[in-house]
Amino acid sequence: MRLDYLTIFPDFFAPLDLSLPGKAADKGLVEFHVHDLRGHSHDKHHRVDDTPYGGGAGMVMKPEPWGEAFDALGVDAGTTVVFTTPSGEPFDQRLAADLATRGRIVFACGRYEGIDQRVIDHAGERAEVREISLGDYVLNGGEVAALAITEAVVRLLPGFMGNAASLVEESHAEGGLLEYPVYTKPPQWRGHDVPAVLRSGDHGKVAAWRHEQAVRRTAERRPDLLHPSQLDDGTPIVRATPGDAGELLTLQRACWVQEALANDSLDIPALHESYDDVRAWLDVWDTWVIRRAGRLVAAVRGRMEGEAWDIGRIMVAPDLQGAGLGRALLEHVQRVAPTEAASYVLFTGEASARNQRMYRKAGFRIRPDLPAPPGAVVLTKPRR
């Protein structure tokens, strides 16, 4: 495999000579080639950026140096060009395994406010293009992301790992679980013991213990991995991020205006929340959303209250209500409840007949014996 890096900071890639990637290069399993993008800029200051059309803060990387660099590198149909960008598809182990099958990858490491869109469009006319994000946050440039993707990809190449079995047992491998806890000598350290089963010599019990620990850890930390959800058309149900707060506020107000009309009351907390309020509850509620054509159209949230999984804010855009999105979200939020949840609880308006009908079909029952917010009813369901 050959990996090329186009960057204005070539020194960022010195770590490629270290540790296992460096050894893999020495063995001929992979080639690393780092290229300074400024070498394809011909003014006396070697500028690679300019002000954005339409105005706005920051600078945008110019197309001409990128085009010349692609020409010089011979980027063609046998090349995969990776643009590292926070607006790309999320990077995960599945994508790492896919990229590990490529013969050549060129990393285009952007800076400033990003790369002129025409560069990406042009690259797509001559090669395979993948826009990839490490996660829902912003870095100063694409170099760190390119290094992280490189390490995840090249370690999957045949012959890279001394013990190939370690690739199967680690987090996000074939079983999709997080890795179990690991221990080494000494057997006792500062009041902490290695679990007895790992010192028993019984390989069957060890394997069972490790699987149980992997399932437990995944359920506690990443329940979405145990219960990946999507709609019938393949649309995924994904975790919300702080960047979704604005759209959630818009969706929330649209939905609770309907609730206010149905219940003849404006005394509904969700109707009066601000953007800052939504940002605040995103920090304490596990929240999932559905997007259609880039638009946030539905959401739900949940959190533990004692031994119950508290479900709330099931929201579906008014123009899509009746299409099954609310039902899908209700099923999803129950599946991802923590293992310690013994029951589910939610509330809705006393006059919200449509909501109550959906909840009853899902097995929830009204509990007049439980305190409810003004104008609302509480429904619960035992966890089976």
CATH code at position 209: 1.10.1270.20
Collect all residues with Cβ–Cβ distance below 8 Å to 31 and sequence separation of at least 6.
1, 2, 3, 25
113 and 24 inside one domain: yes
Whether residues 149 and 7 share a domain: the answer is yes
- d(CA 195, CA 345) in angstroms, rounded, equals 37
Q: Which amino acid is at 326?
A: G
Looking at residue 227, its pLDDT comes to 65
Pair (200, 88) in one structural domain: no
User: What is the rounded CA–CA span in Å between residue 154 and residue 30?
Assistant: 8
Give the chain's count of helices (H) and strands (E).
13, 16
Q: Which of 200, 223, 246 is a domain's end point?
A: 223
Residue 145 shares a structural domain with residue 219: no
Angle between helices 143-154 and 19-26 (to 10 degrees): 60
- The radius of gyration of the chain's CA atoms, rounded to the nearest angstrom, is 26
Give me the pLDDT at residue 165, please: 47
What is the tally of structural domains in the chain?
3
In a domain, 166, yes or no: no
Binned average pLDDT, 10 residues per bin, the chain of 384 residues: 97 90 87 97 91 91 96 97 92 89 96 93 95 91 96 88 49 64 93 95 92 84 74 86 91 86 77 90 92 92 95 93 92 90 93 90 94 91 90
What is the sign of the dihedral through the CA atoms of 371, 372, 374 and 379? negative
Contacts of 170 (CB under 8 A, 6+ apart): 179
Q: Both 216 and 125 in a single domain?
A: no
Give the separation between CA 245 and CA 53, rounded to whole angstroms.
28
Q: Which residues are annotated as a binding site for S-adenosyl-L-methionine?
A: 110, 134-139
Q: Are residues 199 and 300 in the same domain?
A: no
Residues 10 and 90 in one domain: yes
Is residue 230 one of the residues assigned to a domain? Answer: no
Please answer whether residues 332 and 300 qualify as being in contact, where contact means their C-beta atoms are separated by less than 8 angstroms. Answer: yes
Indicate if 313 and 194 belong to the same structural domain: no
Q: Is residue 229 part of a domain?
A: no
Do 186 and 288 belong to one domain? Answer: no
pLDDT at position 161: 62
219 and 242 housed in the same domain: no
Confirm whether 335 is domain-assigned. yes
Are 82 and 116 in a shared domain? Answer: yes
Domain match, 316 and 272 both = yes
Asked, for residue 265, whether it belongs to a domain, the answer is yes
Q: What is the pLDDT of residues 70-97, one digit of tens each?
A: 999 999 999 999 999 988 888 988 899 8
Does residue 170 form part of some domain?
Answer: no
Does residue 293 lie within any of the structural domains?
yes
- Establish if 15 belongs to a structural domain: yes
The enclosing domain of 108 has a CATH number of 3.40.1280.10
Domain range for 367 is: 237-382
Q: Are strands 365-366 and 376-382 parallel, antiparallel or unpaired?
A: antiparallel
